[in-house]
Amino acid sequence: MSNEQNKVNEEELQQQETVEQEVEAVGTEGDVDWNAEEGIFPEGDLVDEGQVAMLEAALLASEAKVKEQQDSVLRAKAEVENMRRRSEQEVDKARKYALNKFAEGLLPVIDNLERAIQAADTESEAVKPLLEGVELTHKTFVDTVAKFGLKEINPEGEVFNPEYHQAMSIQESPDHETNTVMFVMQKGYELNGRVVRPAMVMVAK
């Protein structure tokens, strides 16, 4: 075989390879375009619009359920917090006012000690030692109950307050302003801010 024939054969082979490459490239591009038009994923799965809609609906339902569960958790947390606060308030209230009945029972004792002091003859030498003992007992008694929150209400000269005072009579008085407590007939007492017994008073008008 001559050199010219070899050269011709090589050119024909090159042309044939070029044609085959162009055909292969065209075929590949056609497949991609066709797949896109037919709705085929690169993996070859067909797109089903119904399945997509079902998946979107399921996603929305899941999101709604998650939000509902979050709201339920928040409500439960708020209820627990409210229960805790109410329990603390009830315990605090029980602690403050557990002595209410006991304090009411002690008031007549304090009243009697004060009456004994007021009725004593302070000029008598024989009575003075007894009077000092009663006064000391009264002071100790009052100081002790004050440590537990029991305080007296003695509003003489103050403005009448129906929450703490009980008006037994109303009298005209040029020396007092209207609605002022002129005289305290019986002291009142409060326990940690709650009235155990209102003060019995005479009010000016």
The pLDDT tens digits of the residues spanning 24-67 come to 554 444 444 444 444 444 554 555 677 778 888 888 888 888 88
Entry pTM: 0.55
Report residue 186 as tokens. Answer: 């019986």
Which of 2-6, 100-104, 128-132 comes out lowest in average pLDDT? Answer: 2-6
Output DSSP code: residue 193: T
Q: pLDDT digits over 125-159, tens only?
A: 888 889 999 999 999 999 999 998 899 999 999 99
Tell the residue number behind the tokens 């029972």, with chain if given: 105
Which ranges constitute the DSSP H helices of the chain? 3-38, 49-97, 100-119, 128-146
User: With contact defined as beta carbons under 8 Å apart, do 189 and 102 qualify?
Assistant: no
pLDDT for 140: 94
Cα separation, 92 vs 103, in Å, equals: 18
The torsion of the CA quartet 167, 151, 103, 163, rounded to 10 degrees, works out to 30
Q: 5-14, 83-92, 129-138: which range is least confident on average?
A: 5-14
CB atoms within 10 A of CB 130: 12
